[in-house]
Structure 1
Amino acid sequence: MDNKRRTYGQHLTPIDIFKKYVLPKIKNDIYKYKWIDLFAGEGNLILPILEIIPKKERVDFFKNHIFLFDIQKEMVDKCIRNAINYGIPEKIAEKNIKTRDTLEVYPKSILNDNLPVYHITNPPYLYIGYIKKHKETQKHLKYFEGENEGYQDLYQIALMNDLRNKIDNMIYIIPSNFLFGNSGTNKIRDDFLKYYYIKKGIIFEKEIFEHTGVNVAILFFKRKSQPKDEIQFFEGLKINHIIKKRNYNLNPKNHYRAGSEFDEFVNNYKANTPLKIKYYLTLEEVENNKGDNELMAIDANNYKGSSYKKLKISVNDKYYNKIKSNNLWIRTVDTGNKDGRAGIYLINKSFKTDGILVTKAKYRTHPIQIFIEPTLSRDKQIILMDYFNMILEYFRDKTDSEFLTTYKYSNSEYTRKYLGLSQVKKLIETFPLLNLNECQKNEFINIIKCKNTNKLLEFVKSLKNNEGIEKWL
């Protein structure tokens, strides 16, 4: 079964998910539609509808209202057996539950009567990068040819098939990167959300499938009367350690990406003279700059017990000054407790050393030393650290950390997130210190010391094209 999952990208939906989050939203309309699932698996997203149909009406309801398909015959056989368990005769079940590759050939026959189609599905998820790398999945490359060129995942092909066949109503369980992803999902959002609204969404930041850690969302789609690029608003229910309501707005200018406020800030407010940064202190660099100056470093590749191994390094004067004058490091992964959030910290305070040495491979999840040009004094580095962490936490709070990548499911007090190194670089590049006169610097530092994030954002934004700068002089 594991091989089947990897080959087809199939993750079976627990019946409880359907009964709790989908059935209550559709139960008043069940006689109005033809209910279909083109990737039905065992039928868990449609067949439980029969539970609310009186037994004497179930067979007729099934004949007229339920149509299921799957590419795997063994799944279809299970689906037929499940229908029989609901009281549907085998011959009738076999007529409406079929083996078919619906990604390749859309079953247009289901569109040919008076009842409109309502598609509820958990389509296959299989990223094109994975498909290309594995012999057993390369047969799926055919789906990405012709009009589907440029899409990045099988579920995106499923969405576009429904769009092209003018399906008005759909409920999809798909990776939540459809909402929050960047390059891999910009095209599908641009193309699809021109034609569809998201009526509501249920976003999971906890495991709901047994064999995958993919974050998923249940999204309710409604086709627009006319295709149009416009800002969309929808209410979402976000489920992790707690359940909370979130309001989302999707702007076509940002490829309809949810949680894009962080990206908008770092892209729009890059300093005119940004700091330049490099990551990692490597063993190769230390070997190439040997000298008589001793420093203490942690070995980022050697973590045992509850701490990193410490070691002495000896370097020349130039490299000694470089290491000593760069005392910041980046934690890219939340530890799960409130004192271990991703952010920038002081090396000598965190580790009681001068540097963080990479002795083997570079890992983005290890502590990483940051090297800054031009060199900043220790006091200015602390200002940068506080600035970075204030802005980061502001956007984490504003977007519920949705611009970050979920790292791992855990029982920690908040959902652990990963902060990308490109995101670190972009946020540091908004630090405006090099562009300020003395009066502005004093005001800027004052705002940071007072921990006034709203005023800090206002200050940074006022520097854009020197608009409103007079108020800070």
Structure 2
Amino acid sequence: MEKKSLIPNEKAKRRKFGLHFTSIDMFYRYIFPEIKDFLENYLWVDLYAGEGNLILPILNEIPVDQRESFFHNHIYLFDVQKDMVQECIKNARKYGIPKETAERNIKIRDNLENFPQILKHQKYPIFHITNPPYLYLGYIRKHNETQKYLSYFESRNEGYQDLYQIAMINDLRNDVENLIYVIPTNFLYGASVSNKFRLDFLKHYKINKITIFETSMFKFTGTNICISFFKRKAISKDEPQTFEGLKFKDKNKFVKREYNLKPKYKYRAGSEFDEFIEENSTRNPLKVKYYLQKEEVLNNFGSFEIKVIDANKYENNQYRIQIIRVSDALKGKLMNNILYARTVDTGSIDGRAGLGIIKEHFGVDGIYVSGNTYRTHPIQIFLEPELTYEDQLLLRNFFNTILEYFREKLDSEFLTTYKYSKADYTRKFLGLTQVRGLIETFPHELKEENKEKLKSFIKTNEIEKIFKFIKQFKS
């Protein structure tokens, strides 16, 4: 269990080592039911054991007079930190394990560096249950105290992005058959952070089950985690994987859903949205450009005054409004492109990511970028060819209807988690590539009668009819 009294810099210390200690309650509630029927069949190992809370509670199920023998033959624990190993030995003694026996099977060792070969020569096959260190490579590079970990990502580990991936790939290379890992949910949902790793790892392992927590499980990190159950495949190959997932929204609210991961989409959860975009791009799709930048305004200076917000100047909970002077051509471009992308959920139900009308939301005619561009700011969208006002309204409604359909169906898993908070829902980030892709499914060259059909389907939220309708116009 986590200690109640902690030194002031404890959070920084744990971040430095990538540590997030696991509670005994987590073991009993989510892991023990899956292993209780074959305790005598395996060597129970935690290579990153911390205080031992994912393995030592097994001893409660062993008769007291058999515990020392069971521990001797069935349990091995390791940690890279001496104080954690001492704590682990102390906890083992609470279960009645003599100090000498505990010290024999609980060792200081850096298992990210290499796998302990001694485990392969034991009587029973390895079953690895662990909450490994996780620390993102980007963070490691930026902080002096963590740069010593850069060596883990060299040579054959080049391309991996987190310490937990090094831990898991070591198990793969050493033919460990059964794994239960407590890891960040970016294993499932991440793009660049985990695409390569999923492709390498899931060729060899099948996911049997995942329990996902969209609520804080550890005191010192806001990272959402999942408990993942893996079984090594008899034959390694790239193939779709289907498994059951249990997702906790908070401690008492959960949903069940079936996951379908496909190698074509790098085994990323929520790929159905990407499939929809890929399969339904319309003929002659709209070309999409983003941002009204300072350089363009300076190059098109003129006598026409346009009221804009400055996306780089957010003061007192609102964007600064200013007047820019532009040429007739740029004025026309701004007035004829009324839409903007909100890429980040605000946390309220009416503030979800999607397309909006600049005038309605900000009371101006443009979104000006006086400094650097940021994907999380409101972003003006420029379409080619330009659409009429009515057609842009139709595009907005089309876009938001389909986006919300997939958010509900896939529990927003195709979007990047932006911030964990106590909002009504987990805030998500909609990527600009996703915005462009969905806009490119909009059939903008419709005859009037077909526009009316599409409007009707959107108004009545008949999503299947919308999908069937746009298939007529796909490229």
Q: TM-score, normalised by structure 2?
A: 0.91
CA contact (8 A) 2:283 2:473 kept: no
> Following TM superposition, by how much is the alpha carbon of 1:438 offset from its aligned partner in structure 2, in angstroms?
5.4
Among residues 385, 394, 405, which one is paired with 2:416 in the alignment?
A: 405
> Following TM superposition, by how much is the alpha carbon of 1:85 offset from its aligned partner in structure 2, in angstroms?
2.7
1:147 is the counterpart of 2:156: yes
Q: 1:119-139: CA deviations, max 9, x gaps?
A: 001112223333344444333
In the alignment, which residue of structure 1 is the partner of 2:59?
50
Between stretches 194-203 and 52-61, larger displacement belongs to 52-61
Structure 2 distance, partners of 1:347, 1:308, is: 12
1:281-296 equivalences under 5 Å are 281-296=292-307
CA contact (8 A) 2:441 2:474 kept: no
Structure 1 distance, partners of 2:285, 2:17, is: 46
1:90 is the counterpart of 2:134: no
In the alignment, which residue of structure 2 is the partner of 1:470?
none
Task: Call closer, same or farther: CA 1:408–1:145 in 2, change over 3 Å.
Answer: closer
Q: 1:208-253: CA deviations, max 9, x gaps?
A: 1222222221100112222232222110001114301010111222
1:382-401 equivalences under 5 Å are 382-401=393-412
> Following TM superposition, by how much is the alpha carbon of 1:440 offset from its aligned partner in structure 2, in angstroms?
4.3
1:222 is the counterpart of 2:231: yes
1:463 is the counterpart of 2:473: yes
> Following TM superposition, by how much is the alpha carbon of 1:402 offset from its aligned partner in structure 2, in angstroms?
0.2
1:452 is the counterpart of 2:441: no
Between stretches 232-241 and 206-215, larger displacement belongs to 206-215
1:267 is the counterpart of 2:285: no
Q: 3-state SS of the aligned residue for 2:53?
A: coil
Structure 2 distance, partners of 1:331, 1:8, is: 36
Between stretches 27-36 and 278-287, larger displacement belongs to 278-287
Q: 3-state SS of the aligned residue for 1:379?
A: helix
Among residues 182, 207, 231, which one is paired with 2:240 in the alignment?
A: 231
1:237-316 equivalences under 5 Å are 237-241=246-250, 242-316=253-327
In the alignment, which residue of structure 1 is the partner of 2:368?
357
Q: 3-state SS of the aligned residue for 2:305?
A: strand
Structure 2 distance, partners of 1:301, 1:144, is: 36
> Following TM superposition, by how much is the alpha carbon of 1:362 offset from its aligned partner in structure 2, in angstroms?
2.8
Between stretches 144-153 and 368-377, larger displacement belongs to 144-153
> Following TM superposition, by how much is the alpha carbon of 1:315 offset from its aligned partner in structure 2, in angstroms?
2.1
Structure 1 distance, partners of 2:154, 2:325, is: 57
Structure 1 distance, partners of 2:329, 2:262, is: 49
In the alignment, which residue of structure 2 is the partner of 1:468?
none
1:171 is the counterpart of 2:176: no
Between stretches 395-404 and 315-324, larger displacement belongs to 315-324
Structure 2 distance, partners of 1:189, 1:94, is: 36
Q: 3-state SS of the aligned residue for 1:290?
A: coil
Structure 2 distance, partners of 1:385, 1:240, is: 30
Among residues 146, 160, 183, which one is paired with 2:169 in the alignment?
A: 160
CA contact (8 A) 2:335 2:365 kept: yes
1:131 is the counterpart of 2:136: no
Q: 3-state SS of the aligned residue for 1:433?
A: coil
Between stretches 22-31 and 444-453, larger displacement belongs to 444-453
Structure 1 distance, partners of 2:465, 2:232, is: 42
> Following TM superposition, by how much is the alpha carbon of 1:96 offset from its aligned partner in structure 2, in angstroms?
0.8
Task: Call closer, same or farther: CA 1:183–1:377 in 2, change over 3 Å.
Answer: same
In the alignment, which residue of structure 1 is the partner of 2:23?
14
Q: 3-state SS of the aligned residue for 2:320?
A: strand
In the alignment, which residue of structure 1 is the partner of 2:5?
none
Report the RMSD for the aligned CA atoms in angstroms.
2.1
Q: 3-state SS of the aligned residue for 1:375?
A: coil
Task: Call closer, same or farther: CA 1:307–1:240 in 2, change over 3 Å.
Answer: same
> Following TM superposition, by how much is the alpha carbon of 1:275 offset from its aligned partner in structure 2, in angstroms?
1.4
Percentage of pairs with the same residue: 56
> Following TM superposition, by how much is the alpha carbon of 1:170 offset from its aligned partner in structure 2, in angstroms?
0.8
Structure 1 distance, partners of 2:145, 2:318, is: 42
In the alignment, which residue of structure 1 is the partner of 2:7?
none
Structure 2 distance, partners of 1:243, 1:64, is: 38
Q: 1:417-471: CA deviations, max 9, x gaps?
A: 111122111111222213x455544544443344322111122233335xxxxxx
CA contact (8 A) 2:420 2:426 kept: yes
> Following TM superposition, by how much is the alpha carbon of 1:112 offset from its aligned partner in structure 2, in angstroms?
1.7
In the alignment, which residue of structure 2 is the partner of 1:80?
89
Structure 1 distance, partners of 2:458, 2:350, is: 20
> Following TM superposition, by how much is the alpha carbon of 1:5 offset from its aligned partner in structure 2, in angstroms?
3.1
Number of positions where the alignment pairs a residue of Structure 1 with one of Structure 2: 464
1:327 is the counterpart of 2:338: yes
Structure 1 distance, partners of 2:191, 2:312, is: 30
Structure 1 distance, partners of 2:23, 2:109, is: 22
Task: Call closer, same or farther: CA 1:150–1:306 in 2, change over 3 Å.
Answer: closer
CA contact (8 A) 2:73 2:123 kept: no
1:39 is the counterpart of 2:9: no
Among residues 190, 209, 214, which one is paired with 1:200 in the alignment?
A: 209
Structure 1 distance, partners of 2:85, 2:151, is: 23
CA contact (8 A) 2:417 2:428 kept: yes
Between stretches 332-341 and 206-215, larger displacement belongs to 206-215
Q: 3-state SS of the aligned residue for 1:234?
A: strand
The amino acid across from 2:259 in the alignment is Y
Q: Please, which runs of 5 or more residues in structure 1 have no aligned partner?
A: 466-473
Q: 3-state SS of the aligned residue for 2:351?
A: coil
> Following TM superposition, by how much is the alpha carbon of 1:160 offset from its aligned partner in structure 2, in angstroms?
1.9
Between stretches 382-391 and 4-13, larger displacement belongs to 4-13
Structure 2 distance, partners of 1:244, 1:275, is: 38
Q: 3-state SS of the aligned residue for 2:398?
A: helix
Q: 3-state SS of the aligned residue for 1:184?
A: coil
